[in-house]
């Protein structure tokens, strides 16, 4: 199990990890392929990460972003960090949203940011553990040599 703020993430939902970071499928994805990457150490504020943690987090996002873009047949990715409650951060643990983009997925490109915040607050339409484990299994295969 991995700690994600006050939540526990099952190993079966984690598809990649390094010494300092882990990536996992999203309970409430905004678009197909929307995943999260977070440092292993629970830290609410991005500005309080140690330099090696910040570097590892972004190196992981870079590698995973390339894999996700290829897997979702796109050349575009939105990478989002919400640092603090006023920025829309809903879980008090640093994390990046990785969102492979498709043509027309949002009529106004910047609408994705409001949708992330809206979906984070949504209750009752979460994905099942089975759905999340299936996606994590596919992604594990794609990243196993990375």
Residue linked to tokens 């830290």? 43
Read off the pTM: 0.92
Going by C-beta distance under 8 Å and a sequence separation of 6 or more, which residues neighbour residue 58? 96
Respond yes or no: is residue 72 known to be catalytic.
Answer: no
What pLDDT does 123 receive?
62
Catalytic residue among 34, 93, 95, 97: 95
Q: How confident is the model at residue 122 (pLDDT cuts 50, 70, 90)?
A: low
Mean of the pLDDT values across residues 54-78? 96
pLDDT top residue among 120 and 35: 35
- Residues composing the chain: 146
Does the pLDDT value for residue 100 go beyond 90? yes
- 21-30, 53-62, 109-118, range with the lowest pLDDT: 109-118
């Amino acid at each position: 199990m991995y700690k994600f703020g006050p939540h526990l993430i099952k190993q079966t939902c984690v598809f990649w990890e390094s010494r300092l970071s882990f990536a996992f499928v999203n309970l409430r994805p905004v678009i197909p392929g929307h995943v999260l990457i977070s440092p292993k150490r629970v830290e609410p504020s991005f500005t309080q990460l140690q330099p090696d943690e910040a570097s590892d987090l972004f190196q992981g996002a870079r590698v995973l972003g390339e894999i996700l873009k290829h897997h979702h047949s796109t050349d575009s990715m939105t990478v989002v960090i919400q640092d603090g409650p006023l920025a829309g951060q809903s879980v008090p643990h640093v994390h990046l949203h990785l969102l492979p983009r498709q043509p027309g997925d949002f009529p106004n490109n910047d609408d994705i940011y409001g949708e992330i915040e809206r979906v984070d607050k949504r209750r009752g339409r979460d994905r099942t553990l089975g759905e999340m484990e299936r996606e994590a299994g596919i992604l594990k295969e794609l990243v196993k040599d990375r």
